Structure formats: C-alpha cells, structure tokens
Amino acid sequence: MSEADFPLTGDGRRALRTGATRLGLVGVLVALVLFAVGNGAVAIAPTQVAAILAGQIGVALPWAFEPQQEAVLLAVRLPRVLLGALVGAALAVAGAAMQGLFRNPLADPGLIGVSSGAALAAVGAIVLGTGSLAGPFTLPVAAFVGGLVTTLLVYRLSSAEGRTSVATMLLAGIAVNALAGAGTGLLTFVATDAQLRSITFWSLGSLGGATWNALAGVAPPLLAAMVLLPTLARPLNAFLLGEAEAGHLGIDSERVKAAAIVLTALAVGAAVSVSGIIGFVGLAVPHLLRLLSGPDHRHLLIDASLLGASLLIGADWLCRTVVAPAELPIGILTAALGAPFFLWLLLRDRSQGWG
C-alpha cells in the first residue's frame, strides 16, 4: 500500500503490522489446534470436539459423538497437541531470548549445546540406570541440569572481560555439541536393546510420549519460560546495543543474563526431557517473526510462543499422518525443513546484513 492511501507514520504502520501479526498468529494456532485434535486415524469434527469437551464439564451440546472418539480425544490427541504447543512455544521463545542475549540472529539453543547437553544427561540417566534417584522426575531433572550446565559452559567459554564473542560462542557450541555427541555415542555403545529404543527416541525427537502425567510434569518449566522470558523484553532490546550500553541504560545486565540463561535451560531441558531433540524451531521462528513485525522483543517473545506452538502442532500432525500407521520422529521433520531454511538465511544475510 502506498503512503497516500495509508497516511500513517512508521510507528503507526509498524503497530498495525504487529497487531495484524498477533491476530493472525492466534487465528492460525486456534485453527491448527482444532484441526490437529480432530485429524488422524479416528476423525473427530470440530463440533464433536466441542461436544466432548463440554461433556467433561457436564454441559450437553447437540452434536453426537462415539465413545471411541471421546477416548481418543481425551487420552491421546489432547495431551499430545497441548504438549506440542507447549514444547514448540518454549523452544521458540527460548530461541528468541538466546538470539537477543547473544546479539546474534543465528543463535539457537541447539547451536550453543543446550539440547545436546540435555540429551546426553537424559541418555546417561537411561543407560546408567539412575532412574530411581528422583522417581519419575529423574529424566526431566537430568535433562534440565545437563542443559543448564552446557549453556553456562558455552557462555563462560565465549565471554571474556565482560564481552561475549559470537564467533567463540558458535565454535564453543560446536565443540560442546561434539563432546556431548561423543558421550551420547559411548552410552549408546554400551546400552542394552531396550535402552537403545529409548535413546533413539531422545535423539530423533517425538511427541509420542505425551500423556497427561508427562504434560503435568513439564508444563511448569515450559510455562515459566513462556511467561517470564517476555518480562525481559526491554532489557533484551537494550542488550542488542551491547552489554555495556545496556548497563548505561540502567539495566542490571548480569541479572538479565542469568535470568535468560536459567529460563532457557529450564525450558529447553524440560522440552528435551519429554520430547527429545527437536531442532530449528528456536532458530527459525524468531527469524520469521522479525521479518514480519520487526525485532522488538516486546512483540517477538510473545509472538514466538504462538508461532512455535503452531509450527510444532503442524509438524507433529504431519509426522503422525504422512506414514500412518507408522510415525515419523518429529526431529527428523523439523531438521529436514529447518536446515534448508537456515542455509537460505545464511545466503541471504551474506549479501544483506542480518534481517
């Protein structure tokens, strides 16, 4: 549209654009949730979904449904779609926060080693049989601690005299990823057949393990990241100017760094603990959103949750339908789609500067 038939300032235009983006993202998410819970081996119409859910709270709606549909929706689809939404949202918002913290649009929780560290710890817990240490919470706790330790390690390695070197960070991430990969490889080598199956699950990623119990276990850390990371929006904006500059603007940069890293490790560790390694969501989602509505974290961190949730629900739907009745691990799909996107970014940015 031209300036003439839209007499708004740049502020107005951008506000309009962020508003439209937000509205569109909410619409897409709602539509995808309805679609994904109804679609699969057993089809359930949106009206039937409404009737089943209303029935749960004792309200009778005039749409008939089969008991089988009710069972599938409540025990299988709903926890799975909700888990996909939470994991996708948390990965995307964590990716956006990492990119802000490292002042680099190519930072990703996977690139800096948090996912592989979490997976290593989880695989370690599987193989070394420490499953009884903290009961059902052993795996999530191990994955969380693994993710936190690797994140802190990479951050320490790439920071000197209060400045973080992006090149060092990426190289340190590669090294830590390789190290974690070696550890995971060693554990795989000594694992039993039953353990191997679990390990495959970790390394390829899947939402197939979704139950209400699993959901309840990981929802608190995932929700914490989704809710609390956006409160760091303004400090993260200032961080983009540089750490010293953020300090001059009155921001306690050490506190912001610590909060962003802990929340990211919390979210990614929890996500990996329940669904394995799902790559490229954290990288691609924030990048896509910056193209749509600009780099301001006050919009970005909320929109990232919405788009990340939509993306993972959509990807998971593909995974469980394209090769039905078998299931494609979701990590394969996101990597297969995400890697070409990453390459496109690199090629595009080489000539234009960061979007």
Partner 1 sequence: MLKAEGVGVHLGGRWLLEQVSLEAIPGEVIAIIGPNGAGKSTLLKTLAGEIRPTRGSVSMAGKPLADWPARERACVRAVLPQSSTLAFAFRAFEVVLMGRTPHSRGLEGERDRHIAREAMAAAGVAHLTERLYPTLSGGERQRVQLARVLAQIWEAPPDSPRYLLLDEPTASLDLTHQHGTLVVARGFARQGAAVITVLHDLNLAAQYADRLALLKDGKLLVVGPPDIVLTAEWIETGFGLQTLVLRHPRLGCPLVIALGTASVLQPGEQLAHGE
CB of 29 to partner 1, least distance (A): 24
By CB under 8 A, residue 169 contacts partner 1: no
By CB under 8 A, residue 209 contacts partner 1: no
DSSP codes joined into one string, 29-54: HHHHHHHHHH-SSS---HHHHHHHHH
By CB under 8 A, residue 292 contacts partner 1: no
Q: Which is nearer to partner 1, 104 or 334 (CB)?
A: 104
From CA 207, how far away is CA 296, in angstroms rounded?
31
What H or E segment, with its residue span, contains residue 215? helix 212-228
CB of 350 to partner 1, least distance (A): 13
Judge contact between 259 and 233, C-beta under 8 A: no
CB of 248 to partner 1, least distance (A): 4
By CB under 8 A, residue 340 contacts partner 1: no
By CB under 8 A, residue 17 contacts partner 1: no
By CB under 8 A, residue 252 contacts partner 1: yes
By CB under 8 A, residue 234 contacts partner 1: yes
By CB under 8 A, residue 229 contacts partner 1: no
By CB under 8 A, residue 70 contacts partner 1: no
CB of 59 to partner 1, least distance (A): 38
By CB under 8 A, residue 354 contacts partner 1: yes
Q: Which is nearer to partner 1, 201 or 239 (CB)?
A: 239
Burial 269-299 (b: 16+ CB within 10 A, else e): bbbbbbbbbbbbbbbbbbbbbbebbebbbeb
Cα-Cα-Cα-Cα torsion 227, 113, 216, 191, nearest 10 degrees, comes to 180
By CB under 8 A, residue 11 contacts partner 1: yes
By CB under 8 A, residue 287 contacts partner 1: no
Binding region for partner 1 (CB under 8 A) out of 129-137, 243-251, 313-321, 340-348? 243-251
Q: Which is nearer to partner 1, 178 or 244 (CB)?
A: 244
- Over its C-alpha atoms, the chain yields an Rg (Å, rounded) of 21
- Tell the burial category of 58 from Cβ atoms under 10 Å away from its Cβ (0-12, 13-18, 19+): exposed
Name which position in 42, 53, 171, 240 contacts partner 1 (CB under 8 A): 240
Q: Which is nearer to partner 1, 15 or 332 (CB)?
A: 15
Cα-Cα-Cα-Cα torsion 17, 18, 23, 27, nearest 10 degrees, comes to 90
Judge contact between 143 and 122, C-beta under 8 A: yes
Name which position in 94, 149, 238, 313 contacts partner 1 (CB under 8 A): 238
User: Which residue's structure tokens are 């340190």?
Assistant: 172
Judged by phi (left if over 0) then psi (alpha if -120 to 50, else beta), residue 43 lies in beta
The residues that touch partner 1, with contacts defined as CB under 8 A, are 10-11, 14, 103-105, 161, 234, 237-238, 240-242, 244-245, 247-252, 290, 294-296, 298, 353-355
